[in-house]
Amino acid sequence: MQQEPHDSHYMELALQQAALAPHMGEVPIGAVLVHNHEVIAADHNYREVSQDPTAHAEMIVIRKAAERLQTWRLTETTLYVTLEPCPMCAGAIVQSRIARLVFGAWDPKAGACGSIFDIPAERRLNHRVQVLGGLLEQESRELLQEFFRAKRGTLSESSSPPKSAS
């Protein structure tokens, strides 16, 4: 799928959402859902805050958009997300009939839109999603790397033995 003129702008908005997540202790993944060039929903992960394994940015944005548009059929929409969706989110994207998916960083460990699985392109499903991966990939990856670097630093500091007074 080819990049469209406004894709970078909306991906920047998803990156802005992702940047808010670490302040809440969340992994920096952001999502924005657009319909007719209007942002319908935007958010980031809330798994830690809500202790809900389904509180991925994509799932939250899909729920908000369905509520706002008063339909579960999110046809003619584009979802922008900073990390390649997992199997759960990819399934929700297909089930909600989202037309296009644009994501930043590829996820070689859990990606379900081309890395490990390719759920949006699965021919046996009744809906296929156009997918563009790798848009603002470096920026998306850097947010994640920064977060986990800081998290590992905090973990190693808290697990190191106390220094004895000399």
4, 58, 76, 146: the catalytic one is 58
The verdict on whether 58 is a catalytic residue reads yes
Three-state helix/strand/coil letters over the chain? CCCCCCHHHHHHHHHHHHHHHHHHCCCCCEEEEEECCEEEEEEECCHHHHCCCCCCHHHHHHHHHHHHHCCCCCCCEEEEEEECCCHHHHHHHHHCCCCEEEEEECCCCCCCECCCCEHHHCCCCCCCCEEEECCCHHHHHHHHHHHHHHHHHHHHHHHCCCCCCC
Catalytic residues: 58
